């Protein structure tokens, strides 16, 4: 690595693949545009899940990028956060901050997790929601109150830049004067033809991480036995379905496959939404309704006209077909290529 280059430590949240995917795509786009060394701090399983996807091999072979593995998922106990004590949480964060690459970094980037910025280092929070805020507002209030107050205090006293995607910036970030709202992190958008469909190719996706799929099960069966729909399932869903193998195909998440789709039915994480934007695929957002970020994104999807809020109410197939073309036209107005502005923000933070 070039010792003269500025150093960046980028922590990726372990709760799913959306954060990791965005990190890979950002640095695939920016690493050749900037004289920097980047450490991507993540979990080993995220790399294993993503090893066959675009951009990842490029970063692995780049001498200015390194991957360091941390056990954040198990330690932070995402599924049992109400029992996570403040001292445990702080101990996890300290292990990350004591890492050599963190200590040498000129800039810290963190996805949604504010604990990492409690230092004098220049920091950038990259996300459209905040970890503690979403958990507090989700059903059950699944976060220890002391942990929540610790994160809230860090936000109040932090000088970190807060960068989000404008279309889905959640209220807690909207209220922050420091929040910088950018276009979607995608480019080379596919110009999907606007035309009536007699048959639809539909992807049902729980992403690469195998997130909760309960909200998708009934819909998959409903669509699978209609002759108007060809069904594709993400690998995580294919392992759990009771459908006959001949009634669906497994989706490979390749660019050509996204271009062939007509409709996405998925949890509205930013990763899935970014695919919908990049490939101009109207999306029906579904979830079990216990996650405030998913509900907010689903409502925004419908407000912006890019798809349907299937968490508040699942539309029937006739509604989807009737509104399809208007959703596709709305997608063509979406602002993209937030990479350029993010590059400028990072360079300003590093004074390069």
Q: What is the pLDDT of residues 89-134, one digit of tens each?
A: 888 888 889 999 999 999 999 988 888 886 678 999 998 988 888 8
Average pLDDT over residues 324-332: 96
Q: What pLDDT was estimated at residue 141?
A: 58
Tell me if the pTM is above 0.95.
no
pLDDT, tens digit, for every residue of 29-78?
A: 999 999 999 999 998 988 988 877 767 888 999 999 999 998 876 666 65
Q: By the 8 A CB rule, do 207 and 235 touch?
A: no
> Which pLDDT belongs to residue 119?
65
- Please give the pLDDT value at position 169: 95
pLDDT of residue 260: 96
> 195 is written with which tokens?
């035309």
* Mean pLDDT, all residues of the chain: 88
Sign of CA dihedral 301, 305, 309, 310: negative
| b/e per residue 110-139 (b: at least 16 CB within 10 A) | bbbbbbbbbeebbbbbbbbbbbbbbbbbbe
Choice among 97-111, 134-148, 267-281 with the minimum mean pLDDT: 134-148
pLDDT: which is higher, 62 or 239: 62
Give the pLDDT score at 206: 76
The mean pLDDT of 167-173, rounded to a whole number, is 92
pLDDT of residue 213: 60
Q: What is the pLDDT of residue 341?
A: 97
Q: What is the pLDDT of residue 74?
A: 61
Residue 342 scores a pLDDT above 80: yes
In this prediction, residue 77 carries a pLDDT of 62
Q: Which of 255 and 208 is assigned the larger pLDDT?
A: 255
Predicted confidence band of residue 1 (pLDDT cuts 50, 70, 90):
very low
Give the total residue count for the chain.
Answer: 352
Q: Assess contact for 307 and 282: CB atoms under 8 A.
A: yes
- Contact between 203 and 352 under an 8 Å Cβ cutoff? The reply is no
- Among 139-148, 254-263, 293-302, 328-337, name the one with the lowest average pLDDT: 139-148
Residue 208, pLDDT score: 56
Q: Which of 215-229, 279-293, 296-310 has the highest mean pLDDT?
A: 296-310
pLDDT recorded at residue 23: 94
Rounded Cα distance, 211 and 202, in Å: 19
Q: Evaluate if residue 236 carries a pLDDT over 50.
A: yes
Give the model's pLDDT for residue 216: 75
- pLDDT score recorded for residue 81: 66
CA distances from 62 to 36, 56, 58, 100, 194 (A): 12, 10, 6, 20, 39
What letter would DSSP give residue 178?
A: T
Query: So what's the pLDDT on residue 2?
Result: 45
Q: How much is the average pLDDT of 254-279?
A: 94
Please compute the mean of the pLDDT values over residues 332-347 and round it to a whole number: 96
Interatomic CA distance for residues 89 and 305, integer angstroms:
39
Q: For 171-208, what is each residue's pLDDT tens digit? A: 888 888 889 999 999 999 999 999 888 899 999 987 65
């Amino acid at each position: 690595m070039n010792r003269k280059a500025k150093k960046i430590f980028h922590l990726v949240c372990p709760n799913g693949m959306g954060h990791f995917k965005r990190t890979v795509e950002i640095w695939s786009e920016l690493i050749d545009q900037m004289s920097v060394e980047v450490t991507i701090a993540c979990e080993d399983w995220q790399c294993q899940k993503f090893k066959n996807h675009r951009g990842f091999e490029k970063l692995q072979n780049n001498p200015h990028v390194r991957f360091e593995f941390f056990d954040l998922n198990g330690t932070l106990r995402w599924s049992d956060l109400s029992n996570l004590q403040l001292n445990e949480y702080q101990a996890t964060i300290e292990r990350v901050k004591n890492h050599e690459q963190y200590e040498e970094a000129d800039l810290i980037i963190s996805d949604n997790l504010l604990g990492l910025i409690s230092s004098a280092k220049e920091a950038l929070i990259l996300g459209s929601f905040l970890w503690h805020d979403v958990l507090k507002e989700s059903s059950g209030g699944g976060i220890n109150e002391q942990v929540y107050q610790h994160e809230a205090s860090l936000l109040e006293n932090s000088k970190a830049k807060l960068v989000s995607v404008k279309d889905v910036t959640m209220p807690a970030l909207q209220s922050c004067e420091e929040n910088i709202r950018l276009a979607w992190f995608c480019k080379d958008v596919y110009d999907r033809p606007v035309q009536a469909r007699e048959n639809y190719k539909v992807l049902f996706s729980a992403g690469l991480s195998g997130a909760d799929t309960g909200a998708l099960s009934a819909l998959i069966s409903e669509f699978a036995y209609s002759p108007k729909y060809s069904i594709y399932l993400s690998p995580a869903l294919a392992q759990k379905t009771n459908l006959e193998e001949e009634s669906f195909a497994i989706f490979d998440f390749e660019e050509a496959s996204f271009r062939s789709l007509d409709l996405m039915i998925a949890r509205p994480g930013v990763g899935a939404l970014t695919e919908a934007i990049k490939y101009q695929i109207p999306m029906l957002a579904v979830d079990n309704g216990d996650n405030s970020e998913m509900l907010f994104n689903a409502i925004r999807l419908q407000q912006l006209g890019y798809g349907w809020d299937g968490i508040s109410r699942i539309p029937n197939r006739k509604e989807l077909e009737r509104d399809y073309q208007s959703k596709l036209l709305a997608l063509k107005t979406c602002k993209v290529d937030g990479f350029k502005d993010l590059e400028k923000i990072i360079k300003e933070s590093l004074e390069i």
